[in-house]
Homo-oligomer: A and B are copies of this chain.
Amino acid sequence: MPRMVAERADTLPALAEVFREYGYEGTSLARITKATGLGKGSLYHFFPGGKAEMATRVLADIDAWFESNVFAMLDDAAKPEDGIAAMFDAVSAYFRSGQRVCLVGVLALGDTRDVFAESIRNYFARWIAALAGALVRGGREAATAAALSEETVAGIQGVIVLTRALDDPAIFVRGIEYLRVRLAAPAGRHSCSAPL
């Protein structure tokens, strides 16, 4: 039977939401105690390294989620196009049509980038590599797959920014749909006429 009392891992989703909303510098311990319902004593019991450790553990938690729900599908789907479709579905749900921000991207833009550099790099490099692998198994040339996967992952980050900037989830939906169609386009050249 799961404990009602929080374990450290139970606090991570709430923590992640605070970091996403306020960024690293904007996330104060006061906001964290409010979001988690835990006092500072408990927080420092779970995370002796303080705020930096909280963010590190959140990043690891996010990475694990993507590993299970996105990267693994790209690696293991019997039909690579199914894995790619699953990726877009998972991403659309995870980012709530662009109303939820990518914490890894937020940290990449900030001045604390160096502190979390390895986590940030691994997350994006793993994502790009997994997508490129699926594209290669789907018949693309290696160079084309590498370029397409890089552009797709960047494109997802871009539509999140633009969706937030214009406060219009339709931008996210259109952008993801465009990226989806582009990857599904018949192989041969870098990109082909997309029916948009």
Where the two chains meet, the residues of A that have a C-beta atom closer than 8 Å to any C-beta of B are 21-26, 101, 104-106, 108-111, 113, 117, 120-121, 123-125, 144, 147, 150-151, 153-162, 164-167, 171, 174-175, 178, 182, 189-196
Contacts and interface: CB of A to CB of B under 8 A. Distances in A.
B105 A161 contact: yes
Contact of A108 (B123, B164, B182): B164
A161 B195 CA distance: 28
Contact of A159 (B125, B158, B165, B175): B158
Contacts of A105: 109, 161, 165
A66 to B, nearest CB: 14
Contacts of A26: 23-26, 110-111
A193 B191 contact: yes
A157 to B, nearest CB: 4
Q: Which of A105, A161, A171 has its CB near the most chain B CB atoms (within 10 A)? A: A161
